[in-house]
């Protein structure tokens, strides 16, 4: 017989519901002590971090519990170090391969780790990473040929419009193709975090293929090549890290807003930041900015610094959107039996948010939630 006493019940100052006492309201996620519905000190996916915290893993890999994200963080740092080491040894071709594959491979491992695809792994991985990569491959070839033709004819104006405007916009729309397919034909992937994950995966697949296309002559060239290792390290940071991150973020942003549009039934109350129009303007604006930087900034280092600044702002923006989306998710759930929280492992009533640490259930892994629902 269960001898534990039920936790005392308190009234949430934000949603007004009677909920188990704790740090956070299990229904709406508000911080109970301060009554703050925004709780900007506790990011809803990983509550031991602030919302305004710069992090790649807890932003683009939100389903990972903090305890399980260590290997991913180590892999990103170790991968970066490997790229720099290879570049320092003038092994530019292997350095390039390592740089462009690092994030996409980690993301694929993440998809498997958290089983975001439920029981359709091939469909989801195919429609996001693989389709993104195929479209990236085709588009990089077509865009490359058109650009070099314009360069040959010396038509600088058309070349600028193509490089700074047309290519970035078309590329962004192509990165959205896979997520849009899943949105249309697989309505059961209804959680906004599904949108974030599909968008990021598609953006990373696209970036991988277009970077590989751009670097192909080098990769197939001699193993030890001439050139400045520092130049190469900068160039590979740009392609392997910054462009990949930017593409993952912009696509995740639009997909998150699209998914949220279907999920959030409280029309009209959504902040402009996570609205579909807001996401489209930001994402396309960023892509055009990256295109313009590529077309007009001749100095490699200056371009990379600008892209780094854009990536930082974008990562923070995506985090705010994820945080908002998870807080929206709260509204519809009830109170379940006591079970360990996937994030902090304390025994808590199963609710939309962990009353102890404030983690959103929707940011836990799907198999963990299925086990809970099955009562195992
Ligand atoms: Zn509440
Ligand atoms: Zn918890």
> Relative to the alpha carbon of 12, which ligand is closest?
1
**Ligand 2 centroid distance, CA of 358 (Å):** 6
pLDDT of residue 298: 85
In 224-365 the beta strands, taken as DSSP E runs, fall at 338-340, 347-349
**Ligand 2 centroid distance, CA of 325 (Å):** 18
In this model, does residue 374 exceed pLDDT 90? no
**Ligand 1 centroid distance, CA of 47 (Å):** 16
Distance CA 57, CA 75 (A): 11
**Ligand 2 centroid distance, CA of 334 (Å):** 17
> Relative to the alpha carbon of 350, which ligand is closest?
2
pLDDT of residue 225: 76
pLDDT (tens digit, 9 = 90+) per residue, 138-169? 999 999 888 888 888 888 888 889 989 999 99
pTM: 0.93
> Relative to the alpha carbon of 26, which ligand is closest?
1
- Indicate the length of the chain as a whole number: 376
pLDDT band at 263 (very low <50, low <70, confident <90, very high): confident
Return the higher-pLDDT residue of 273 and 20. 20
In this model, does residue 1 exceed pLDDT 50? no
In this model, does residue 376 exceed pLDDT 60? no
DSSP 10-72: EE-TTT--EEE-SSB-TTT--BTTTTBSS-TTS-SSSTTS-SS---SHHHHSTTS-GGG-HHH
pLDDT (tens digit, 9 = 90+) per residue, 358-369? 999 889 887 767
Domain definitions of the chain by residue range: 1-39+338-369+372-376, 57-331
> Relative to the alpha carbon of 23, which ligand is closest?
2
**Ligand 1 centroid distance, CA of 331 (Å):** 9
In this model, does residue 373 exceed pLDDT 70? no
> Relative to the alpha carbon of 17, which ligand is closest?
1
Q: What is the mean pLDDT of the chain?
A: 89
**Ligand 1 centroid distance, CA of 260 (Å):** 20
- Identify which of 257, 243, 245, 135 has the alpha carbon closest to the alpha carbon of residue 194: 257
Distance CA 51, CA 12 (A): 22
**Ligand 1 centroid distance, CA of 13 (Å):** 7
pLDDT of residue 366: 77
pLDDT of residue 155: 81
Q: Name 209's Cβ contacts closer than 8 Å, sequence gap at least 6.
A: 132, 133, 134, 135, 136, 137, 140
**Between vectors from CA 98 to CA 230 and to CA 291, what angle results, nearest 5°?**
65
Distance CA 211, CA 254 (A): 22
> Relative to the alpha carbon of 360, which ligand is closest?
2
């Amino acid at each position: 017989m269960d001898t534990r006493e039920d936790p005392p019940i308190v009234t949430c100052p934000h949603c007004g519901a009677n909920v188990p006492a704790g740090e956070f309201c299990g229904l709406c996620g508000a911080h109970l002590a301060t009554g703050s519905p925004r709780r900007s000190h506790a990011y809803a996916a990983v509550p031991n971090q602030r919302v305004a915290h710069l992090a790649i893993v807890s932003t683009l890999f939100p389903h990972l519990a903090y305890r399980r994200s260590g290997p991913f963080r180590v892999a990103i740092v170790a991968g970066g170090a490997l790229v720099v080491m290879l570049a320092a040894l003038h092994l530019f071709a292997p350095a390039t391969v390592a740089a462009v594959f690092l994030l996409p491979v980690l993301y694929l491992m993440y998809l498997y780790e958290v089983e975001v695809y439920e029981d359709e792994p091939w469909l989801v991985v195919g429609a996001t990473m693989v389709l993104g990569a195929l479209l990236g491959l085709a588009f990089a070839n077509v865009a490359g040929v058109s650009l070099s033709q314009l360069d040959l004819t010396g038509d600088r104006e058309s070349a600028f419009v193509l490089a700074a405007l047309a290519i970035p916009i078309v590329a962004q729309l192509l990165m959205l193709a896979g997520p849009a397919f899943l949105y249309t034909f697989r309505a059961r992937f209804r959680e906004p975090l599904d949108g974030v994950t599909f968008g990021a995966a598609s953006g990373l697949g696209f970036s991988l293929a277009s970077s590989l296309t751009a670097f192909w002559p080098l990769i197939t060239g001699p193993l030890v090549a001439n050139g400045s290792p520092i130049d190469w390290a900068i160039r590979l940071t740009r392609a392997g890290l910054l462009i990949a991150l930017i593409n993952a973020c912009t696509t995740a942003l639009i997909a998150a807003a699209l998914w949220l549009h279907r999920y959030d039934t409280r029309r009209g109350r959504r902040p402009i930041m996570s609205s579909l129009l807001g996401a489209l303007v930001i994402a396309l604006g960023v892509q055009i900015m990256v295109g313009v930087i590529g077309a007009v900034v001749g100095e490699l280092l200056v371009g990379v610094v600008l892209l780094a600044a854009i990536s930082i702002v974008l990562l923070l923006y995506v985090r705010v959107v994820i945080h908002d989306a998870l807080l929206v998710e709260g509204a519809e759930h009830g109170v379940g039996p006591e079970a360990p929280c996937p994030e902090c492992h304390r025994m808590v009533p199963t609710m939309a948010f962990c009353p102890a640490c404030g983690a959103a259930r929707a940011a836990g892994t799907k198999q963990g939630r299925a086990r809970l629902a099955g009562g195992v």
